[in-house]
Amino acid sequence: QAFYPGGGLAKFGEQAGILWDEVYRNGETVIYQVRLP
C-alpha cells in the first residue's frame, strides 16, 4: 500500500468540477476524469 501526504491529495477534491470530474468513488478510492479545454 502506498502513502502520499494529504496536502498533495487535497487539491483533487478542491478542484473537482473545475479542472476534473469525479467519475468513481469507493471508500477512500476516488478516480477523476480531466476536463478537456
Q: Tell me the per-residue pLDDT of 3-17, one tens digit each, with 9 for 90 and over.
A: 777 777 777 888 888
pLDDT at 10: 79
Rounded to an integer, what distance in angstroms lies between the CA atom of residue 21 and that of residue 2? 23
DSSP state of 5: -
Chain centre distance of CA 6: 12
**Predicted TM-score (pTM) of this structure:** 0.64
Q: Is there a contact between 13 and 23 (Cβ–Cβ < 8 Å)? A: no
- Report which DSSP code applies to 24: E
CA 2/CA 24 separation, integer angstroms: 19
